[in-house]
Amino acid sequence: MITVKKAGASKAVWLAVAVSLLLGGTLTGVALGAAEIPKLNFGYIFTTHHTPFIVAMARGEGFKDQGAYLRPLVPKQKYELVAQGKPLAVLDIVVVKSGAETSTLFAQKRLDVGMASVTAIMSGADKGMPLKALCPTHVDGMGLVFPKDTRLKGWEDFLAYIKASKKPVKIGYHSPTSAPRIVFEGALHQAGVKITGDVNDLSAQVLMVDLKATANLIPALVSQQVDACVGPAPFPEVAEVKGVGKIVLDLRDLPPPGFWQNFPCCVMAANQEIISQHPQVLKGLTDLLTLSSDWCNQHTGEVAAITADWIGVPAAAVEKSTIIYTTDPSENWLRGVSIYMDMLNKMDKFKGSLKGKKLDEAKPLLFDFSFVKQTAGK
């Protein structure tokens, strides 16, 4: 629910507020003067895929001289978004477990803006949710991890392993709509590997296992609940640094060669109501995310320390990541999203408004890049 923060309202305005409340109204939509700013719920996940926003929170007024920043009100919980010296919104921060949960919270109107995989936003849009991706947050940063003692390395070893197995190889993933799962399944599908989510389907070569959250990936690997896991950074790197896993394959190296390089994953998205009512807030957020993304790419050591402290992972694992942070919806990025669309349709994942559509047809349902294009001067 959108509320407003107000300052310096006149007695007449406060009388109007009191009357409104007595008549069963709320503060939302009451004219409170020029100083009113919206209060929005902003969701992100404890992953290095969302590092630019984590860094923006951690650095706070460190970005002040660059035009957009977050002023801490309650560290890690509540921030005032400021751009060009003007307070634009108060953000209540919500830590989310996965892209699928992000989509659910949007549907329940418990999130106004949030970060999740572009495939999660696609899934929400397919179900009729009024969501729009505003900008990318990064490319790459996804891996396939086996237990530490495996001798497998690379696609050819992995393919030989699953072909030699007498039962389906169990691969864990953290969310049904996650980009790592879709990229991985898409590559296997192209390679003619039979995939299933049905534990009783013994004719399949790979059984995909929903582990519900990134926090469950390493425990499932260590306990041998699964044979391997596919997931986002920093999970693959943490598994290696802690000595419990080995990255057998960076998903950007899946076949065909070069096809999955610089591939999309997460985006920042917003409810259409927020886009319509508070465009200046979303312009401020995309400005901030762009500033922070550039800073993150240039200060990897500092970023590793900030992220490690914030989400509780080894700094060495963060530094090993292959992520590139960007808010630019480039032609190459859109090509990757188009591949997602085609793969999801081939695998019959869409059931609603995106079923059978190509990306050009789906763009009006999925994207609003007007804010980031302003930022990039396009």
165-183 residue pLDDT tens: 999 999 999 988 888 998 9
Q: What is the DSSP string of 124-135?
A: HHHTT--EEEEE
Within 10 Å of residue 190's Cβ, how many Cβ atoms? 14
For the chain, percent of residues with pLDDT exceeding 70: 89
Average pLDDT, integer, range 231-242: 94
Long-range contacts of 192-196 (CB under 8 A, 24+ apart): 193/159, 193/162, 196/168
SS3 state of residue 150: coil
**Residue 2 pLDDT level (bands cut at 50, 70, 90):** low
Pairing of β 245-250 and β 142-147: antiparallel
Q: pTM above the 0.95 mark?
A: no
Alpha-carbon distance of 111 to 100, in angstroms, equals 13
Alpha-carbon distance of 288 to 274, in angstroms, equals 17
- pLDDT, position 25: 39
Alpha-carbon distance of 25 to 23, in angstroms, equals 6
- Burial label for 373, CB within 10 Å (0-12, 13-18, 19+), is middle
Residue 219 in this model has a pLDDT that exceeds 90: yes
**Residue 210 pLDDT level (bands cut at 50, 70, 90):** very high
Closest CA to 33 of 1, 59, 18, 11: 11
pLDDT of 305-344, one tens digit each?
999 999 999 999 999 888 999 999 999 899 999 989 998 8
For the chain, percent of residues with pLDDT exceeding 90: 78
Q: 340: which 2 tokens?
A: 């997602």
Domains, the chain: 36-140+264-376 (3.40.190.10), 142-253 (3.40.190.10)
Chain-centre distance of CA 47, in angstroms?
Answer: 9
- Burial label for 210, CB within 10 Å (0-12, 13-18, 19+), is middle
Average pLDDT, integer, range 122-143: 95
Which residue spans within 6-125 are E strands per DSSP? Answer: 37-45, 68-74, 78-83, 86-96, 113-117
Alpha-carbon distance of 180 to 336, in angstroms, equals 13
The number of residues in the chain equals: 378
**Residue 347 pLDDT level (bands cut at 50, 70, 90):** confident
Q: 84: which 2 tokens?
A: 């060009």
Closest CA to 275 of 145, 112, 124, 140: 112
Within 10 Å of residue 132's Cβ, how many Cβ atoms? 22
